[in-house]
Structure 1
Amino acid sequence: MPSVGLGLLGCADIAIRKVLPALTPDSGLRLVAVASRAPEKAKEVAVRFGTRAVTGYAELLTDPEVDAVYIPLPPALRGRWVRAALDAGKHVFAEKPLTTNARETAALAARAASSGLALMENYMFVHHAQHAYVRTLLSDGAIGELRTFQAAFTIPPRPAGDHRLDAALGGGALLDGAGYPIRAAQYFLGDDLTVLGASLHRGAPQAVDTAGAALLRTPTGVTAHLTFGMEHFYVSRYQLLGTTGQITVDHAFTTPADHRPLIRVDHHDHQERRTLPPDNQCANTLAHFASAVRTGTPTDIATSVAQSGIVEAIRDTAGS
């Protein structure tokens, strides 16, 4: 099938460092234009990736070669431009979180559905083969009945000027790193999760939250213990604790394409260590989005809507 013409709306670091290099012919996407509010930045990125530059986001949305847009803008700016792109008839692939509040996320999902457009939030890790493998272990009864899910994603302090330190741009650990353990809990436990307790830490009254934790529960009583932060030692891990064993996955969320995942399964009297082949979660994610555009394959936008509600519940619970 013809490749999907993709336009970059905003020259963020994650786009240049991770996403654009994965736009191979196999992805089903081709970069046709780069837009920035700074003309020189757009030209620099366009030359680097062999495409053309346009000045300003609005001009990109009128480009007839652009079938879909990738939006890596800071969280507080995403909602406005996701809606503008949908209104222009463009499919949308956007960084996480899609917006900074649940109501806007739900409205954008409904707008995309009513227009027959693909809308996808960029959680790459769910497209890595290691997690499907763990799901199979669970369904095969490798650790008995699941009782508790635990996940942590923490990163070292951010440099000055990072948008994650700016509340006006949608910064903070809850809107950034917390998305990984929350989405992982949804991946294994489903979207129907109730927030039982939560805590957020701020270094100063007007600062963004830099650390937090939450306790969630499914309707059947399985719990999820989630930890996140951005002034920590780097951790990217989840564990599933069952009645007869435990599964542990390290390097779970930002997994390099050349990494050979190690799945550890602990039992009462022995341990199994299973090494899997490398997998490219970024390439897989882009291919999934291209398929959604070309064939109508569903994205997981309903899970994104549910996640935005969980994030708000964590914020409200921590505030109370």
Structure 2
Amino acid sequence: MSDRLRLGVMGCASIAWRRMLPAAERTPGVDITAVAGRDPDRTERFAARFSADPMPDYAALLEHPDVEAVYIPLPNALHREWAHRAMRNGKHVLVEKPLTCCYRHSVELVAQARSSRRVLMENMTAPRHAQHKVVERLVADGEIGALRSFSAAYGIPPLPAEDIRYRPELGGGALLDLGIYAVRAAVRFAGPGLSVEGAVLRTDPETGVDTSGAALLRTPDGVDVHLAYGFEHAYTSGYTLWGSAGRITATRTAAPPPELRPELTVERKGETRTIAAPADDQDSATLAAFAAQVRGQESTAGHQAPTLRTARLLDAIRAAARPTAERPERRPR
């Protein structure tokens, strides 16, 4: 077995072109071996750009003798099928977030990974950024006292009308695309046992897709968690931990550039200070961790627990949500 992970790419998605495949080129021990897509011309462009073999379809990629792991940036609704087929073909799998569109299907894939001894990882890169460990250290040092409230907001401006995130049959919608960041942050910082107290989903009456929403959650010991997200907002990606003695705010938490040192704001006893967290390459770090798990150099124990907790809460938010109509200022046509 080569020390280098031979990665096949299933789908010529924008996130693969812009972020994950350039990150793979920056990651020691990872080779982009083959690319498969639905459009032959687009597949050829991807393959040429990243010096990979172009494959005629997804099934052919899974039969490629040199591909030992696949990265799946397909539409959300296709994650379950192709992750299942990849593992059935003996491949390790890195699949874009969300792992699947619901908790039950995610549990099924995790069980398959365990029984087949394949590595299955959700490509949720944001939690790997070093800034979050800085926040955890500040909390552990008592900067905010006891946590009383956690809030997170993730939003982007309206997308082009043809964007697949406006197609519910492909697993589109703001909850799975952006709400997942807010929920994952709450799982990390508010702790286990979160329950959904109430939620709202704003739905486009023409497409049936959720374009924004909010949720109120609570921990067993009474910490309030406020989450908001959507496709109809000025760009934001951050969270705040508010405690009995202070407050910490992070404002660039979804996809900061690798060279950026994100600023954290700490408010305590009437004083405010800014801390520059380390620059970090969260995409490359995720690929490196995936490769290390495939090679047995990093334990896989417990790494899927946050993914499953997040999936369970996303289901609960959707179940609890009171639907509302989209605002009059609609997305561009």
TM-score w.r.t. structure 1 length? 0.97
User: Aligned pair 1:84/2:78, yes or no?
Assistant: no
What aligned pairs does 1:230-269 form with structure 2 within 5 A after superposition?
Answer: 230-269=231-270
The equivalent residue for 2:313 is 310
The equivalent residue for 2:331 is none
- Compared CA separation, residues 117 and 108, structure 1 to 2 (3 A): same
Contact kept in structure 2, 1:96 and 1:121, CA below 8 Å: yes
Deviation at 1:259, TM superposition (A): 1.1
The equivalent residue for 1:16 is 17
* Amino acid in structure 1 at the alignment position of 2:319: D
Give secondary structure in 1 for the equivalent of 2:222.
coil
- Compared CA separation, residues 260 and 126, structure 1 to 2 (3 A): same
User: Aligned pair 1:53/2:64, yes or no?
Assistant: no
What aligned pairs does 1:186-265 form with structure 2 within 5 A after superposition?
Answer: 186-204=187-205, 206-265=207-266
**Sequence identity of aligned pairs in percent?**
44
Deviation at 1:61, TM superposition (A): 0.6
Post-superposition Cα deviations, 1:54-81, rounded to whole Å, max 9, x if no partner, equal: 1110111111211110000000111100
* Amino acid in structure 1 at the alignment position of 2:105: E
Contact kept in structure 1, 2:9 and 2:36, CA below 8 Å: yes
Could you tell me which runs of 5 or more consecutive residues in structure 2 were left unpaired when the two chains were aligned.
Answer: 324-333
CA distance in 1, matches of 2:98, 2:26: 27
CA distance in 1, matches of 2:108, 2:277: 39
Size of the aligned set, in residue pairs, is: 320
Post-superposition Cα deviations, 1:65-116, rounded to whole Å, max 9, x if no partner, equal: 1111000000011110010001111110011111111111110011001111
* Amino acid in structure 2 at the alignment position of 1:173: A
* Amino acid in structure 1 at the alignment position of 2:299: T
Give secondary structure in 2 for the equivalent of 1:8.
strand
Contact kept in structure 2, 1:39 and 1:55, CA below 8 Å: yes
- Compared CA separation, residues 114 and 319, structure 1 to 2 (3 A): farther
CA distance in 1, matches of 2:12, 2:204: 30
Deviation at 1:188, TM superposition (A): 1.2
What aligned pairs does 1:89-238 form with structure 2 within 5 A after superposition?
Answer: 89-204=90-205, 206-238=207-239
Could you tell me which runs of 5 or more consecutive residues in structure 1 were left unpaired when the two chains were aligned.
Answer: none
Give secondary structure in 1 for the equivalent of 2:20.
helix
Give secondary structure in 2 for the equivalent of 1:297.
coil
Contact kept in structure 1, 2:23 and 2:284, CA below 8 Å: yes
Post-superposition Cα deviations, 1:155-197, rounded to whole Å, max 9, x if no partner, equal: 0001021010001111111111101010011111234211111
Contact kept in structure 2, 1:109 and 1:302, CA below 8 Å: no
Deviation at 1:205, TM superposition (A): 6.1
TM-score w.r.t. structure 2 length? 0.93
The equivalent residue for 2:75 is 74
Contact kept in structure 1, 2:155 and 2:235, CA below 8 Å: yes
CA distance in 2, matches of 1:183, 1:28: 28
CA distance in 1, matches of 2:74, 2:207: 23
- Compared CA separation, residues 191 and 161, structure 1 to 2 (3 A): farther
Post-superposition Cα deviations, 1:196-247, rounded to whole Å, max 9, x if no partner, equal: 1100011316421111001111222212110000011111110000100000
CA distance in 1, matches of 2:128, 2:28: 13
Contact kept in structure 2, 1:27 and 1:290, CA below 8 Å: no
* Amino acid in structure 1 at the alignment position of 2:304: I
- Compared CA separation, residues 25 and 204, structure 1 to 2 (3 A): closer
